């Protein structure tokens, strides 16, 4: 089955540690996105990538980093510089940046302990 897989589903991090969230898609989509969701908030864009080896900052990129070395993969690293990392993180993809429909993964819940 085609889709977007995010792992792990739940992640715990100690303060001061970096942690990487995985996002893999087998839909052959060019564009991929990372969103953050906080309680009572909509989704906010962290980073996006239109094509392999290219990515751009979204609205709340500070404290995060990404890579796009393969078309299928767009991992997100939450660094120690992110002051409030506890949130729900959603990865999405679309056929290309021009295509309106975005498909979402099931998310990763990150908690700082």
Contacts with another protein, residue ranges (CB under 8 A): 31, 33, 40-45, 48, 50, 58-59, 88, 90, 92, 96-98, 100-102, 104-107
Q: Is 33 exposed, middle or buried (0-12, 13-18, 19+ CB in 10 A)?
A: buried
Measured in residues, the chain has a length of 113
DSSP H/E element including 37: strand 31-37
Q: How far is the CB of 39 from another protein (least distance, A)?
A: 10
Report in angstroms how near the CB of residue 89 gets to another protein at its nearest: 11
Shortest distance (Å) from residue 80 CB to another protein: 26
Task: Give CA–CA dist 56/40, Å, rounded.
Answer: 26
62: part of which helix (H) or strand (E)? none
Identify which of residues 98 and 113 has a Cβ nearer to another protein in the complex.
Answer: 98
- Considering the complex, state which of residue 18 and residue 56 has its C-beta at the smaller distance from another protein: 56
Nearer to another protein, 57 or 70 (CB): 57
Q: What are phi and psi of 47, to 5 degrees?
A: -145, 155
């Amino acid at each position: 089955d085609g889709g977007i897989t995010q792992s792990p589903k739940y992640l715990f991090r100690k303060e001061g540690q970096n942690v990487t969230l995985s996002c893999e898609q087998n839909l052959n989509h060019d564009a991929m996105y990372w969103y953050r969701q906080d309680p009572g908030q909509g989704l906010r864009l962290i980073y996006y990538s239109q094509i392999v080896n290219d990515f751009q900052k979204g609205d709340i990129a500070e404290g995060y980093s990404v890579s796009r070395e393969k078309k299928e993969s767009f991992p997100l690293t939450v660094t120690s510089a992110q002051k409030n990392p506890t949130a729900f993180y959603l990865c999405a993809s679309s056929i290309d940046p021009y295509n309106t429909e975005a498909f979402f993964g099931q998310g990763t819940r990150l908690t700082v302990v």
